[in-house]
Amino acid sequence: MKINGIDSAKQQISQHVAVCINQASSYFSRVFPMPDINFKQRGKIAASAQLQKNTLRFNPVLMMDNLPRFLNEVVAHEVSHLLAFQLYGRVRPHGKEWQALMLEVFGVNPKTYHNMDVSKVVGRQLPYLCACGVVHLSIRRHNKVVRKIQRYRCLKCGEILQAA
């Protein structure tokens, strides 16, 4: 049976998660459980860690477009979240414990956010106005504004965004 591109990428990610878990187990002289892995992350998020469930979720669209970065950065980033929780309990998501794991265990620069091209995964956006001009909100955020659940401020001028 021939393995297609997405299956091969999923296999590589899963294998690299196992490598990272084994590396951490050796570093701490402690066995860490292998997390469940799925490829159901959506939107602009490359991946996420569900701490209590010991699960890693990877975005298949971003993974296929950025497989080397997933293997070199994203996997270690997410495994470090799980390890920080298992070692220290509830700590700041990108705090000193997580940063130390990234640097000391995996030798990876502890970047908080990715700068991958997300044009393939960005959903519908709606225009809002502020003193700076037009700002686009996702349909989810727009619906929260319409239902009067949430208001959003411009990150530059601080003004509350108004529907265009």
Nearest CA to 162 among 57, 137, 78? 137
Q: Supply the residues annotated as catalytic.
A: 78
- Euclidean distance between CA atoms 20 and 16, whole angstroms: 6
pLDDT in tens, the chain (164 residues): 445 699 999 999 999 999 999 999 999 999 999 999 999 999 889 999 999 999 999 999 999 999 999 999 999 999 999 999 999 999 999 999 999 999 999 999 999 888 888 888 877 789 999 999 999 898 889 999 999 999 999 999 999 999 98
Contact 24, 83 (CB under 8 A): yes
CATH number of 5-105: 3.30.2010.10
pLDDT score, position 122: 73
Task: Give the chain's end-to-end CA distance (angstroms, integer).
Answer: 53
pLDDT score, position 1: 42
Q: Which two tokens stand for residue 139?
A: 């349909």
Q: Which two tokens stand for residue 126?
A: 């709606």
Extents of the domains making up the chain: 5-105, 125-163
Q: What is the pTM of this model?
A: 0.78
